[in-house]
Structure 1
């Protein structure tokens, strides 16, 4: 790939998704963009780059952006955040929201929906305590393909074997051919929409809990700051933010501080 084409794709991807690619990732760019080139009946990445420059076709730009985003997820990924939710976060919210009986949860960059549905299954298991409560789970992702997959709630055997307890598989899924589909009861607990974290977040409304795990690692520091400060504006004073194990707010923003004694959880100062 020509240097000027690599730079053009990198600039476009950073503007559209926040993704930062270094020169040693040229192979990754090439491997993921060749299928896009073929889809658009282009023989080489040179042709793809020339077409991007000439046409500025939004559908093409969207295909390129989605091809480069990392859609890695699993049910109950890393487990500890879900234990913290059950043991620390939810009890505090049930106490502080006892009057309005309403909780909103956001799974940002939700990929194919496993995080949101893991929360939905957990909350369903706690249905007696939550009787009369309105719990809203919203999953958003840059990729329209991932949003559609999330809404369908259909997963492969490999996907349901990663982190999902067998008891929940039996209770909440129905096998259809070689795939597994979540029950309508769980699917209706979560809504999914296409949304870019780099855009104005205010239309999403306020969230009591935000899961934004393993997303910031792909951004440069100014973009991390921008996203975290935008998220802070969408949270009440006692809201809770989840980040991934390799992520932090320290040195990036003062809009959040670590929750005492709870690794990976952040609160407003």
Structure 2
């Protein structure tokens, strides 16, 4: 691939998705964009690059962006965040919300929806502890294809075998051909929509809890700062932000601080130390 073509693809991806590619990832660019070249009936990435320069086709730009966006996800990924949701986040937030009995949760960069559905199953497992409460869960992703899959709630055998307990498969899924579909009840309780984290986030509204795990690792520092500070404005004083185990806010923003003793959980810098239990 020509250096100028690689640079153009990198600039395009950063502008549209925040994704930062280094030169050692050229192989990734080639492997993921060759199917797009074939779809658009061009011979290779040089012709694909030429097509981008001569015609700013939004459908083509979307195909390229979606092909390069990592869509890795699984049910109950890493498990610990869901355990902490039950043992730390709910006890922290429910007492101050007894009057309205409502908690709003955002699964950012939700991919094909497993995180949001895992949260719903976690809440269902809490039974009487959350009876009468409303949990408004919103899942967003830059990929139209992933959002459509999340809405359908239809997963392969391989996907349901990754992290999903057999008891939950039996309880919450039905077999449809060679795939498994999550129950109509769970699908009706989460709203999935296309959204770019680089856009103005304010139209999404306020959330009590934000899950943004394993997303920021693909952004450069200024973009991380921009996204985190936008999320800080979306949380109440006792709001909680989830990041991935390898992610941090340190050196990126002073709007958040780690929640003491709880890896991966962050609260607003102005928030008092949580009193749980």
Q: Same fold (TM over 0.5)?
A: yes
The match for 1:21 is: 21
Deviations 1:140-195 (A, max 9, x none): 00000000000000001111011111100000000111100000011111110000
Distance (Å, rounded) in 2 between the aligned partners of 1:162 and 1:32: 24
Distance (Å, rounded) in 2 between the aligned partners of 1:180 and 1:94: 33
Q: CA deviation at 1:126?
A: 2.2
Distance (Å, rounded) in 2 between the aligned partners of 1:59 and 1:91: 45
The match for 2:245 is: 245
The match for 1:179 is: 179
The match for 2:274 is: none
The match for 1:91 is: 91
Distance (Å, rounded) in 2 between the aligned partners of 1:86 and 1:199: 31
The match for 1:262 is: 262
The match for 1:210 is: 210
Distance (Å, rounded) in 1 between the aligned partners of 2:96 and 2:164: 30
Secondary structure, counterpart of 1:128 in structure 2: helix
Q: CA deviation at 1:132?
A: 2.0
Q: CA deviation at 1:122?
A: 1.0
Show structure 1 runs of 4+ deviating over 6 A: none
Distance (Å, rounded) in 2 between the aligned partners of 1:144 and 1:31: 21
TM-score (norm 2): 0.96
The match for 1:199 is: 199
Alignment of 1:121 with 2:115, yes or no, is: no
Alignment of 1:42 with 2:42, yes or no, is: yes
The match for 1:224 is: 224
The match for 1:51 is: 51
The match for 2:70 is: 70
Q: CA deviation at 1:230?
A: 0.7
Structure 1 unaligned spans of 5+: none
Alignment of 1:109 with 2:109, yes or no, is: yes
Question: RMSD between aligned alpha carbons?
Answer: 0.7
Structure 2 unaligned spans of 5+: 270-277
Q: CA deviation at 1:237?
A: 1.0
Secondary structure, counterpart of 2:210 in structure 1: strand
How many residues align? The count is 269
TM-score (norm 1): 0.99
Q: CA deviation at 1:134?
A: 1.5
Q: CA deviation at 1:94?
A: 1.3
Secondary structure, counterpart of 2:135 in structure 1: strand
Q: CA deviation at 1:54?
A: 0.5
Distance (Å, rounded) in 1 between the aligned partners of 2:230 and 2:62: 23
Secondary structure, counterpart of 2:4 in structure 1: helix
Secondary structure, counterpart of 1:99 in structure 2: coil
Secondary structure, counterpart of 1:200 in structure 2: coil
Distance (Å, rounded) in 2 between the aligned partners of 1:50 and 1:210: 40
The match for 1:160 is: 160
